[in-house]
Amino acid sequence: MKIGIIGTGRIGSTLAQLFAKAGHAVAISNSRDPETLASLAETLGANVQAMHPDEAVQFADCVLLTIPWIKRDTLPPARLFENKITIDATNHYGPRGVVDLGESSSSEEMSKQLPGARLVKAFNTMYYETLRTGGRSAPEERLALFIAGDDSEAKAVVARLIEDIGYAAIDSGFLREGGLIQQPGSPIYNVPMNFSEAQRLLADLK
């Protein structure tokens, strides 16, 4: 699969390397010129190349958003995301901590910004070092990564990507309820757990 990543911080770079190692073609991008990412792309693996964000979206079958929440207005035009599976790995942190979104979730707000995207919330609940080192080949040993969304086919694609890098995908629900469960401050946020533990905790939260 072709994966375009917007944002080359710790999560973006970690996932670029993991996806490339799993055999996917990856394009990384940030707000600067692609040439500034050339050395990073080289270190991340042969399947990784640097592109402009617009190009990364057009290149991709699946787009991953790992930019800071406060920089979401720098994303490429919404029309480029039309019908694209788009993974929202952002958390709504501002300069003074978590931003108050009222009854909304960060992914609902992202969905409003990218109304044509097939949005799935994922990869936002695990610390990047755990993500980098925690993948396992044996299914019974795998840590859980949560997904939320309203498009079941898009969630299935994201679940396969999660399994490709050695984790167990667990569905936390639709974009609203699941997105809220996956936000900072939730009992599942930044808490490594296996699939059975995650299932039990989700059952308690719903």
pLDDT of 206 strictly over 90: no
CA 13 – CA 20 distance, rounded (Å) = 11
CATH code at position 70: 3.40.50.720
Domain count, the chain: 1
Of 139, 136, 133, 198, the residue nearest 172 (C-alpha): 198
Specify the pLDDT at position 10: 96
Specify the pLDDT at position 205: 84
- pLDDT per position as a tens digit, 39-48: 999 999 899 9
Mean pLDDT on 59-80: 96
List the single range of 62-76, 88-102, 143-157, 164-178 with lowest mean pLDDT.
Answer: 88-102
pTM value is 0.95
CA 81 – CA 12 distance, rounded (Å) = 18
- pLDDT per position as a tens digit, 142-194: 999 999 999 999 999 999 999 999 999 999 999 999 999 999 999 999 999 99
Largest CA distance in the chain: 48
- Which residue segment(s) compose the domain that 80 sits in? 2-205
